[in-house]
Amino acid sequence: MCEAVVIGAIARAVDMPLSFWQAVWVNSATVSGQVAQVAPGGLGTYESVMAFALAQLETPWGTAYTAAVLTHAFKFLFSYAAGALVLVFSPSDWRAVRSIWKKGREKR
């Protein structure tokens, strides 16, 4: 449901009429299309499946693909920003990551 809100916000930004439940359906179709990923993070697969789902709702292909790229970019940026905040505000986790990294290098 939270990802559908992102899709809905991006849809509004590109002047695409999309109801909340249509955004939920698009998100569900997109996530279902991630069963077999070829590229890391679903790059390409995510955009093509979401653009196809949006096109099924009579969105022009170019607009659908733009919305898919923007949505995926936003989700990537949010994920990296959230991870960075966890590392900044949870120093014990950062120390754990560094010690695991050092142990991995010592085994080589």
Q: What is the pLDDT of residues 86-96, one digit of tens each?
A: 878 876 766 77
For residue 9, is pLDDT > 90? yes
54, 68 Cβ separation under 8 angstroms: yes
The Cα–Cα gap between 65 and 70 comes to: 9
Mean of the pLDDT values across residues 59-88? Answer: 91
70, 13 Cβ separation under 8 angstroms: yes
Predicted pLDDT of residue 60: 94
From the CB of residue 45, how many other CB atoms can be counted at a distance below 10 Å? 17
Helix (H) or strand (E) holding 77: helix 61-89
Q: pLDDT grade, residue 34 (50/70/90)?
A: confident
Predicted pLDDT of residue 108: 60
- Global pTM value: 0.74
Higher-pLDDT residue of 107 and 45 is: 45
